[in-house]
Amino acid sequence: MDENCIFCKIIKGEIPSNIVYENEYVCAFKDLNPVAPVHILVIPKIHIQDLEHVNKENVEYVAKVQEAFKEVAKIAGVNESGYRVICNCGKDGGQEVKHLHYHLLGGKKLGTKIIND
Protein backbone atom coordinates (compact mmCIF):
# COMPACT_ATOMS: atom_id res chain seq x y z
CA MET A 1 0.00 0.00 0.00
CA ASP A 2 1.13 3.55 -0.78
CA GLU A 3 0.14 5.99 1.95
CA ASN A 4 -0.10 8.91 -0.49
CA CYS A 5 -2.30 7.07 -2.99
CA ILE A 6 -5.99 8.01 -3.04
CA PHE A 7 -7.07 4.59 -4.28
CA CYS A 8 -5.11 2.85 -1.48
CA LYS A 9 -6.96 5.19 0.90
CA ILE A 10 -10.28 4.14 -0.64
CA ILE A 11 -9.34 0.46 -0.18
CA LYS A 12 -8.51 1.13 3.49
CA GLY A 13 -11.74 3.10 3.97
CA GLU A 14 -9.80 6.26 4.84
CA ILE A 15 -11.66 8.30 2.25
CA PRO A 16 -15.30 7.72 1.37
CA SER A 17 -16.33 6.03 -1.86
CA ASN A 18 -19.33 4.27 -3.31
CA ILE A 19 -18.11 0.66 -3.33
CA VAL A 20 -20.29 -1.63 -5.46
CA TYR A 21 -18.26 -4.86 -5.15
CA GLU A 22 -15.19 -6.16 -3.37
CA ASN A 23 -13.43 -9.36 -2.48
CA GLU A 24 -10.02 -10.24 -1.04
CA TYR A 25 -8.19 -9.07 -4.17
CA VAL A 26 -10.41 -6.49 -5.87
CA CYS A 27 -12.36 -3.33 -5.07
CA ALA A 28 -14.89 -1.70 -7.43
CA PHE A 29 -16.38 1.72 -6.78
CA LYS A 30 -18.24 4.44 -8.69
CA ASP A 31 -16.11 7.03 -10.46
CA LEU A 32 -16.36 10.48 -8.87
CA ASN A 33 -16.89 12.11 -12.28
CA PRO A 34 -18.80 9.61 -14.40
CA VAL A 35 -18.65 9.93 -18.19
CA ALA A 36 -21.37 7.31 -18.80
CA PRO A 37 -24.51 6.19 -16.92
CA VAL A 38 -22.42 3.33 -15.54
CA HIS A 39 -18.82 4.29 -14.74
CA ILE A 40 -17.12 2.07 -12.20
CA LEU A 41 -13.43 1.81 -11.37
CA VAL A 42 -12.13 -1.70 -10.74
CA ILE A 43 -8.78 -1.89 -8.94
CA PRO A 44 -6.47 -4.47 -7.35
CA LYS A 45 -6.23 -4.32 -3.56
CA ILE A 46 -2.48 -3.81 -3.68
CA HIS A 47 -0.64 -0.78 -4.95
CA ILE A 48 0.47 -1.42 -8.54
CA GLN A 49 1.34 1.84 -10.28
CA ASP A 50 0.18 0.88 -13.79
CA LEU A 51 0.35 -1.88 -16.40
CA GLU A 52 4.11 -1.31 -16.70
CA HIS A 53 4.44 -2.49 -13.10
CA VAL A 54 2.60 -5.80 -13.41
CA ASN A 55 4.96 -8.67 -12.61
CA LYS A 56 5.09 -12.30 -11.44
CA GLU A 57 4.57 -11.27 -7.81
CA ASN A 58 1.41 -9.19 -8.31
CA VAL A 59 -0.18 -10.66 -11.43
CA GLU A 60 -2.56 -12.77 -9.35
CA TYR A 61 -4.31 -9.55 -8.30
CA VAL A 62 -4.56 -8.43 -11.92
CA ALA A 63 -6.05 -11.79 -12.89
CA LYS A 64 -8.63 -11.40 -10.12
CA VAL A 65 -9.55 -8.00 -11.53
CA GLN A 66 -10.13 -9.60 -14.94
CA GLU A 67 -12.32 -12.18 -13.28
CA ALA A 68 -14.31 -9.52 -11.38
CA PHE A 69 -15.51 -7.52 -14.41
CA LYS A 70 -18.42 -9.86 -15.06
CA GLU A 71 -19.51 -9.68 -11.40
CA VAL A 72 -19.33 -5.89 -11.42
CA ALA A 73 -21.16 -5.72 -14.76
CA LYS A 74 -23.94 -7.89 -13.36
CA ILE A 75 -24.30 -5.75 -10.24
CA ALA A 76 -24.40 -2.61 -12.43
CA GLY A 77 -27.03 -4.23 -14.67
CA VAL A 78 -24.97 -4.07 -17.87
CA ASN A 79 -23.87 -7.69 -18.23
CA GLU A 80 -26.43 -8.31 -20.98
CA SER A 81 -26.43 -4.88 -22.64
CA GLY A 82 -22.61 -4.81 -22.76
CA TYR A 83 -19.86 -2.54 -21.58
CA ARG A 84 -16.37 -1.24 -22.31
CA VAL A 85 -13.27 -1.58 -20.12
CA ILE A 86 -10.48 0.98 -20.44
CA CYS A 87 -7.09 1.12 -18.73
CA ASN A 88 -5.01 4.26 -19.14
CA CYS A 89 -1.27 3.84 -18.71
CA GLY A 90 1.26 6.62 -18.17
CA LYS A 91 1.42 10.19 -19.43
CA ASP A 92 0.36 9.69 -23.06
CA GLY A 93 -2.29 7.21 -21.94
CA GLY A 94 -3.88 9.96 -19.84
CA GLN A 95 -3.47 8.21 -16.50
CA GLU A 96 -4.11 10.60 -13.62
CA VAL A 97 -4.25 8.31 -10.60
CA LYS A 98 -1.10 6.20 -10.26
CA HIS A 99 -2.79 3.05 -8.97
CA LEU A 100 -3.70 0.54 -11.66
CA HIS A 101 -7.41 0.86 -12.42
CA TYR A 102 -9.86 -0.16 -15.10
CA HIS A 103 -12.82 1.99 -16.12
CA LEU A 104 -15.96 -0.11 -16.67
CA LEU A 105 -18.32 1.98 -18.80
CA GLY A 106 -21.84 1.27 -19.98
CA GLY A 107 -25.53 1.98 -19.54
CA LYS A 108 -25.81 3.46 -23.04
CA LYS A 109 -24.58 2.68 -26.54
CA LEU A 110 -21.02 3.95 -26.49
CA GLY A 111 -19.46 5.59 -29.54
CA THR A 112 -17.31 3.54 -31.86
CA LYS A 113 -14.21 5.65 -31.33
CA ILE A 114 -11.95 4.56 -28.53
CA ILE A 115 -9.72 7.63 -28.59
CA ASN A 116 -10.19 11.38 -28.41
CA ASP A 117 -7.31 13.46 -29.65
| Shortest Cβ 113–Zn ion spacing (Å) | 30
Residues 6+ apart with CB under 8 A from 78: 38, 106, 107
Active site residue 99: no
Cβ pair 66, 42 in contact under 8 A: no
Q: Segment contacting ligand 5GP (CB under 6 A): 51-59, 77-85, 94-102, 107-115?
A: 94-102
Among 26, 83, 99, 116, binds Zn ion (CB under 5 A): 99
Residues 6+ apart with CB under 8 A from 40: 20, 28, 29, 30, 31, 72, 76, 103, 104
Of the residues 47, 99, 101, 103, only one is catalytic, namely: 101
Among 13, 24, 33, 91, binds ligand 5GP (CB under 6 A): 33
* Residue positions annotated with a catalytic role: 101
